Structure 1
Amino acid sequence: MITLYGFGRIFREGIGETKDLRVEWALQETGLPYRVHALDHTAGELDSPAYRKISPFRQAPAIDDNGFVVAESGAALLYIAEKAGKLIPSDVEGRTRVTQWCFAAVSTVAPTLSLLGLGDIAGLNDNGRKTWTGIAKRWLDGLEERLDGREWIACQDFTVADILLATVLREVRNTDLVEPYPRLKAYYARALARPAWERTLALYAERFGVSVADIR
């Protein structure tokens, strides 16, 4: 059975924003058996000697599949898909296309959106915001173009690339930024309407003792 190392306690503002959501979503989509090991971030459990052996950067999530440990959420999603034979095509070109869009989500789109979301904390001034907003629009332009005539980002079917991209798009707090992108907005709504996502939110909310509405 897979053990998902996720959060069980974290500072209030972080609830609903953690990346273990995307891993549990993939597990819910595939139906692989798993259990959650809930980490207490506030008590420093991620810095414990035991967890340092699991995650080299002392981050969550990570997964342990009967002794085979995978850190980094993107890598965990690809492993889950390959193990289940779901959420990823069986041919090498299809798998490569999914991998490409997984990397695009976490390496290209996510850093810019995260920076804009944390702008006040990061100390962005007006010029900085303008610059990074321009970069974000470049990525969103590319996504909008890619979704022309497509339901999902990488392939005809829903894949782990869509889980990664949809959870990255949750970081967009400025709705004006995505307003000019009708295909992207429809894509995001489709992804978050999936029953497995709803189950994931419910389990996550239960873990933290909050309502689904608080984290949606």
Structure 2
Amino acid sequence: MLRLYGFSRVNPIAHGRTRDLRVLWALEEMDQPFELVGLDHPAKELNTAAYRAVSPFEQIPVIEDDGLVLSESGAIVLYLARKTGRLIPADAAGAARVERWCFAALNTIEVPLLNLQLMDFVTHDSGANEYRGFLVQWAMRQLGALERWLEGREYVANDDFSVADILLSHVLTETDDPALLDSHPGVREYRERCLSRASWRRTIERYRERVEAG
């Protein structure tokens, strides 16, 4: 059976935002059984030689499946989609469109949003305002392009929900800044459309019941 390394306890600021949720959501959508190995992040269970053997950067998530050990949430959800034939089209062109938007979610959209999130977590120094303003402009540019792309589309890559939508909509949970979202109602609506799926609601509810914030 597939084994997934996820969190059992995480710092309160990250609770409900962690990247194992992307894999948990994909597995829920695909109706795939798995064994969950919960790790305690504050207790430094990720910072061991044994865990580094499966996760070079001491990060979650990781899966073990039929002898394959794989880290990185994007790589994992694409692997699961290809293996199960779920959440990715069978034709090469359709699959390529999903792959494109998986990379866009993690490289083009997430970078400015994550930088803003991290900056707001660690500093309230007014001297940082100029850099934050740069990050906001960067995020606005990327979200503006996404807003234009989503016009007339229900999902980002093809007509059907895919693993690209899992990655992208989860990336978009990294901000609730009204300055960003109020300017891009199509992006907000897309995010809420994806997060309203029953599979996500089950995933986040089980996560909150199981994962301790501490």
TM-score range, shorter chain: over 0.9
| Letter aligned with residue 119 of structure 1 | M
2:172 matched to 1:196?
A: no
Judge conservation of contact 1:117–1:173 (CA < 8 Å) in 2: no
Residue matched to 1:88: 88
2 CA distance for matches of 1:17 and 1:201? 10
Residue matched to 1:151: 154
Residue matched to 1:69: 69
Judge conservation of contact 2:8–2:212 (CA < 8 Å) in 1: no
Calculate the TM-score normalised by the size of structure 1. Answer: 0.93
1 CA distance for matches of 2:94 and 2:209? 36
Between the aligned residues of both structures, percent identity stands at 45
User: Where in structure 2 are the equivalents of 1:87-166 lying within 5 Å?
Assistant: 87-120=87-120, 121=122, 125-166=128-169
After superposing the two structures, state which structure 1 stretch, 138-147 or 118-127, moved more: 118-127
2 CA distance for matches of 1:76 and 1:40? 21
| Letter aligned with residue 89 of structure 1 | P
Q: Deviations over 1:131-163 (max 9, x none)?
A: 111110111011111111100001110000000
2 CA distance for matches of 1:14 and 1:129? 21
Residue matched to 2:41: 41
Gaps of 5+ in 2: none
SS of the residue corresponding to residue 168 of structure 1 reads helix
Gaps of 5+ in 1: 211-216
| Letter aligned with residue 9 of structure 1 | R
- Counting matched residue pairs gives 210
2 CA distance for matches of 1:171 and 1:182? 16
CA change 1:176–1:86 in 2 (3 A) is same
2 CA distance for matches of 1:185 and 1:176? 12
1 CA distance for matches of 2:30 and 2:117? 31
SS of the residue corresponding to residue 47 of structure 1 reads coil
SS of the residue corresponding to residue 23 of structure 1 reads helix
Q: Deviations over 1:178-201 (max 9, x none)?
A: 112121111111100001001101
Deviating runs (4+, > 6 A) in structure 1?
none
SS of the residue corresponding to residue 161 of structure 2 reads coil
Q: Deviations over 1:13-49 (max 9, x none)?
A: 2211110011100000001111210011122211222
Q: Deviations over 1:89-138 (max 9, x none)?
A: 11111111111100111111111001111223266711111111111011
